[in-house]
Structure 1
Amino acid sequence: MKLKKLTAELADPFRSLKNSIFARLYFAETISLIGDAFTWVGLALLAYQFDEERSAVILATALTLRVSAFIVFSPFAGILADKIDRKKILYITHFFRMAVVAYLPFIKAEWQIYVLVFLLNVFNAFFTPTYRSVISQIVEKGIYRQAVGLSTATNQLFGVLGPGLAGIMAVWFGARQIFFVDAASFVIAGLLILTLPGSLMRKPAAGEAIKEKPSTGQDLLKGVRLLFGNKLIRFALSIEFVSAIAGAQILVNTVGYIRSGLHQNNQHYGWVMAAFGIGAATAAFVSGAIDKSKSRKASLLIGALMLGLAITGANYVNYGLLLLLWAIAGLGQSLAEIPSETLIGENIAAEEQGKVYGTHFAFSHLWWAIAYPIAGFLGNRLPANNFLYGGILTLLFLLLIFAFLNPLKIKSPVSG
């Protein structure tokens, strides 16, 4: 009986795929995510090829430029998504990303990594908030949480498990050749996006024609006000900062630790990241069943705690135990990050969600812009103890957030 219930809970998110429009959007994003995973593994391996000793710094710089593009441009993307045809935003930015990825195999200098990464993620900053804001418009309210859970789970699965698979493929094809796989995935995903009905990509226009349109600055401020005005969303966003501190350590320093600390190869790096991805995806897929209003604060706190504890001892374990710790860290990251998107979808009016998703995207990546340089510094200066210090920082910030925001006094919404 318990097995039957568990199977039903795992299958629950897939109910959202009965909506054919969401299914096409979902599969387009999934294919794109697989390609993105290949991109970041390729960049990690290229960084190691350019300079083994500075690989953590190169990768941290590239990832910081990535999130910097998100911080600067995603709020404007959210505003744009509330005003014009969202399908147009999706396919234009998607094909520009494809063009940048197609050039990545020909990189010959470190500075080219930085330029192309920044350009790639300028377009990504417009694509992702638009994609997220579209979900609430094209799925029924009864399956919205399942759609968000499935989308987030898939993002976790291929955003983290994908690098593991890409690491294995890099052994067969080489670091540069996997960029061609990425470019091909963009073509397939782009064709799916073009099949979406544009009329469903627009914000509902009822009553808007007679209202005076706010300026871009007013829209930006409103997005910030709506995001931080809800205490539970504000707490969830703060926990995402804790998650970023730990997650950056994993993404930046794992490749160096596997290669130089444990003296293993790219395939071993791939399997470690696969363990992280499996943990993240497992928690994300189950989230549709456990993500109720009363469980969200516990999910956020437990997830952040799991992340901090998992990475703290990573410098002192063998390869087998590292696989287990990264699986636990993956579970923690999903539990710490999933509630935010659901809370926005449930608490923000549909006509305002574009700007709020854009603002959330910017702030959540601001946390990573802070976390990546910290990870790069620890990986470069303290390679023997980088995960220990990263874990201590993670747990310290979690304690401060708990003390100042006091989640026990935050009332959860009745619905959910």
Structure 2
Amino acid sequence: MIDVLKNSSFRNLFAAQVVALVGTGLATVALALLAYDLAGAEAGAVLGTALAIKMIVYVTLAPVSAAVVPPALRKTVLIALDLARAAAALTLPFVTEIWQVYILIALLQSASACFTPLFQSLIPEILKDEKDYTKALSLSRLAYDLESLLSPALAAALLTLISFHGLFAGTSVGFVLSAVLVFSTVFPLIAAKRGDEGPYTRAIRGMRIYLRTPRLRGLLALNLVAAAGGSLVFVNTVVVVRSVLQGGEREVAWALAAFGIGSMAIAMLLPRLLDKVSDRRVMLSAAGLMCAVLACLLGIWIGLNGAVNWLVVIPSWVLLGVAYAGLVTPGGRLLRRSADSADLPFLFAAQFSLSHICWLIAYQLAGMVGAKWGMPIAIGALACLAIVGFAAAWRSWPKADPEEIEHGHDNLPSDHPHWAEHPAVTGRHSHRFVIDDLHTRWPH
């Protein structure tokens, strides 16, 4: 897997991702503890609202940001966004009111909403070979898991020396180092997509490709499953550990790390597994596991009348991490397979935006429902959400999903260059099929 790090451009970007996510992981723990410090047992509702703000910003800004930034300015914009995130994180330790948390989270996540799609769309341009790209996706998944494993572990160690407010300084340092590494990276040269298209048109283009591609509609439904399990961990871990298990700040960090252990273990196995097993089978199996874990956790919670212990929580969090990695890691392969290179930034932005609609729904169920009606109702609602997503993915993503599809063009002139590039027999031909100007609908 690590042989892709021989590519210097990817190595620098991967290192930038790692250090930024270590900082983000510290902020995740610190934000949960800050919410508990300000709101006590209502911390789940505060976190749910803060994360809902994050999702709203992601949904609205991500598609436009990828469409607005021309290829020549991507490095400059990424550096500026890293520095903006560092400044916002550095301000968080000084908040004293819940509304201040919400404003700073909106500013911080606005920068992240613009940064992430641009960053993700660079990787398939740097690593053209699909096997290398698959390895890069798994490494990227491992980097994201630093936020839920190594960062909480580091946070637990730091909390023995400093208060949780000091963790926000680590976040700022991570973003600054990320900016330095992005600056040192050689970016690939990509031609801009038709200069006469405005940002709104390019943003809609990514959405249109996404929603008209069956495998991506399945991916969207699987994002709902991932959000259901992930939101339970990200929103309610602090409440479960502090209020139910009577743990402290370090125990919150270790519980989050359990989720990361499961996720990292699967992410390291996926490159070899995906060489032998289809993306669809892996992702649907992970979705089934997520539904099963949530349903079993609900049953145990009710059976014990809420008196759960560490022997219930830690294995459940590990299995949720396993399912989560199996759901989200292969997603980049599906996106890469479903668009031309020039359209990839817009497609990644569409995935970023649409997937976070799923998270917006799940965060509200995990936070608001949990705070108002209790943890069993929240877990039950999330289990139902995951089952709906699993059923929709099974139906939307056909089992037969070849890259090359036979199709025709009823209204295409006989002298069009497309016929010369892909000769037809009796008016039909076969080639790698993606939604574009000539192929506006998926063939049946």
TM-score, normalisation: structure 1: 0.89
Return the offset for 1:201. 4.5
Cα pair distance change 1:306/1:169, threshold 3 Å: farther
Q: Which moved more, 1:359-368 or 1:212-221?
A: 212-221
Q: Which moved more, 1:102-111 or 1:339-348?
A: 339-348
**2:61 pairs with 1:73:** yes
**2:287 pairs with 1:304:** yes
Partners of 1:334 and 1:259 lie apart in 2 by 26
Partners of 1:161 and 1:241 lie apart in 2 by 26
Q: Deviations over 1:210-251 (max 9, x none)?
A: x55212222122101111222112201211112112211111
**2:7 pairs with 1:19:** yes
Between Structure 1 and Structure 2, whose CA radius of gyration is higher?
Answer: 2
Count of matched residue pairs: 396
In the alignment, which of 6, 19, 41 is matched to residue 53 of structure 1? 41
Residue in structure 2 matched with residue 393 of structure 1 by the alignment: 384
Q: Deviations over 1:132-164 (max 9, x none)?
A: 111112224251221122112211233455235
Return the offset for 1:91. 0.4
Residue in structure 1 matched with residue 81 of structure 2 by the alignment: 93
In the alignment, which of 254, 258, 271 is matched to residue 237 of structure 2? 254
In the alignment, which of 245, 256, 269 is matched to residue 273 of structure 1? 256
Q: Which moved more, 1:42-51 or 1:279-288?
A: 279-288
In the alignment, which of 96, 99, 104 is matched to residue 116 of structure 1? 104
Return the offset for 1:404. 4.1
**2:143 pairs with 1:154:** yes
Q: Deviations over 1:73-105 (max 9, x none)?
A: 100122134544211121011111111111111
Partners of 2:55 and 2:221 lie apart in 1 by 17
Partners of 2:157 and 2:225 lie apart in 1 by 30
Counterparts of 1:169-318 in structure 2 under 5 Å?
Answer: 169-197=158-186, 200-204=187-191, 211-292=194-275, 294-314=277-297, 315=301, 316=304, 317-318=308-309
Cα pair distance change 1:150/1:76, threshold 3 Å: same
CA contact (8 A) 2:288 2:390 kept: no
Identity %: 25
Q: Deviations over 1:45-64 (max 9, x none)?
A: 01000111211110100001
Partners of 2:342 and 2:287 lie apart in 1 by 32
Return the offset for 1:278. 0.8
**2:320 pairs with 1:333:** no
Amino acid at match of 1:154: A
Residue in structure 1 matched with residue 346 of structure 2 by the alignment: 355
**2:372 pairs with 1:381:** yes
Q: Which has the higher helix share?
A: 1
SS of corresponding position for 2:278: helix
In the alignment, which of 23, 30, 43 is matched to residue 18 of structure 2? 30
Residue in structure 1 matched with residue 93 of structure 2 by the alignment: 105
TM-score, normalisation: structure 2: 0.84
Return the offset for 1:361. 0.3
Amino acid at match of 2:278: S
CA contact (8 A) 1:76 1:220 kept: yes
Cα pair distance change 1:123/1:324, threshold 3 Å: same
CA contact (8 A) 1:38 1:181 kept: yes
Partners of 2:3 and 2:112 lie apart in 1 by 28
Cα pair distance change 1:388/1:65, threshold 3 Å: closer
Cα pair distance change 1:112/1:232, threshold 3 Å: same
CA contact (8 A) 1:34 1:158 kept: yes
SS of corresponding position for 2:159: helix
Show structure 2 runs of 5+ residues with no match.
405-431, 433-444
SS of corresponding position for 1:348: coil
Cα pair distance change 1:212/1:173, threshold 3 Å: closer
CA contact (8 A) 1:78 1:358 kept: yes
Amino acid at match of 1:24: N
Return the offset for 1:352. 0.7
Show structure 1 runs of 5+ residues with no match.
1-12
Q: Which moved more, 1:135-144 or 1:146-155?
A: 135-144
SS of corresponding position for 1:51: helix
SS of corresponding position for 1:203: coil
CA contact (8 A) 1:85 1:201 kept: no
Partners of 2:142 and 2:394 lie apart in 1 by 30
Amino acid at match of 1:268: E
Partners of 2:394 and 2:284 lie apart in 1 by 12
CA contact (8 A) 2:44 2:236 kept: yes
CA contact (8 A) 2:232 2:379 kept: no
SS of corresponding position for 1:126: helix
Residue in structure 2 matched with residue 8 of structure 1 by the alignment: none
In the alignment, which of 25, 39, 46 is matched to residue 27 of structure 2? 39
Partners of 2:75 and 2:376 lie apart in 1 by 47
Partners of 2:321 and 2:210 lie apart in 1 by 26
